[in-house]
Amino acid sequence: MRVIFMGTPEIAVPTLSEIIGRGHDVVAVYSQPPRPAGRGKKERKSPVHELAEGFGLEVRTPLNFKNEADIEAFEALDADVAVVVAYGLLLPKRILEAPAKGCLNLHGSLLPRWRGAAPIQRAIMAGDTQTGLMVMQMDEGLDTGAVGLIDEIPISENMTAGELHDQMMIRGADLMGRALPALERESLHFVPQSTEGVTYAKKIDKAEARIDWSRSAQDIHNQIRGLSPFPGAWFEIELNGKPTRVKAIKSALAEGTGAAGTILDAGLTVATGHGAIALTHVQREGKSVMDAETFVRGTGSLEGKVLS
């Protein structure tokens, strides 16, 4: 089929590779414009942009679709379908209706739960034990379209957002790879979403990243997992007489009691408002991720210190 691909971050890359590998004619790739990144703040192309150029595909990077010329250029591609994976722009009606078979979106949740921008993080932060991927026919709503294919994914008790993200990258590519030939054969049947159980996965706010040790160990564990590796749940600890910010990258529920925020042993087991949590991997500002033993070896005994 003639396919327009629309995506930006790393999670969308395997799906584009899969579509190319299956022999579809990718007539254009749309991605977010290059943006300043890194220490030098040089403009950097998105992962999808770089892959597409490597395959010699045309890449378009409109800021939005408010410009009539951009809409007409999209319509002129005469595509059979547009595939959208974490593109980052809301698509107006004319864009949604331009391809002959519409626009398919790969979404990382079991809709209607976790519509919106951060379904992977929100599912883990909420303590969900299951999520999934869905191929959805896009409409003008926010992730409200009818669903064609589903792949359910269990969330284990210590799984991080990064680990779930990496699973979804691979499994999502396979799911969309199976959806396109079914769409071409007209055997992909779409079922409307339920009107019950709707939740929204709003973007992660920086204020959510600081750990409140008065919360339960389970809640904190979910927060750490859901924000790992980025942006990273964090706390402050006094080291060498000054407060130092540390990110908690991995954790596990543990035994112990004490005042909330107090380190209970020679490792990094911390008392919470209910229960205790072991910080198994952490990252100091400007340092690499390290396990708890390595961290404590570099600081000396921390038992009895209070985290904030």
pLDDT in tens, 69-113: 999 999 999 999 999 999 999 999 999 999 999 999 999 999 999
The reported pLDDT for the residue numbered 241 is 87
Give the per-residue pLDDT at 263.
98
At residue 138, what are phi and psi to the nearest 5 degrees?
A: -75, 145
Running DSSP on this structure, what letter comes out for residue 205? P
Domain that holds residue 191: 2-200
**Does the pLDDT at position 38 exceed 80?**
no
170 and 278 belong to one structural domain:
no
Q: Any known ligand binding at 109? A: yes
Q: What is the pLDDT of residue 40?
A: 76
The model's confidence at residue 176, banded by pLDDT at 50, 70 and 90, is very high
Q: Is the pTM of this model over 0.85?
A: yes
In a domain, 145, yes or no: yes
Is the pLDDT score of 39 beyond 80? no
> Residue 223's closest CA among 271, 160, 164?
160
Token reading at 267: 């490792």
Strands (E), 159-206: 200-201
- pLDDT cut 70: percent of the chain above it: 100
Give the residue-averaged pLDDT of 161-179: 98
CATH number at residue 240: 3.10.25.10
Question: What is the model's pLDDT at position 37?
Answer: 82
63 plus 165 within the same structural domain: yes
In a shared domain, residues 247 and 195: no
Residue 112 annotated in ligand binding: yes
Mean pLDDT throughout 281-303? Answer: 94
Look up tokens 């985290």; give the residue: 307
97 with 134, same domain: the answer is yes
Could you tell me which residue, 58 or 241, shows the higher pLDDT? Answer: 58
Do residues 259 and 234 share a domain? yes
pLDDT digits (tens, 9 = 90+) for 3-25: 999 999 999 999 999 999 999 99
On the question of pLDDT at 240 being above 90, the answer is no
Q: Same domain for 251 and 102?
A: no
Q: Specify the DSSP class assigned to residue 45.
A: -
Q: Are residues 118 and 245 located together in one domain of the fold?
A: no
154 backbone φψ class: left, alpha, beta (φ>0; ψ -120 to 50): beta
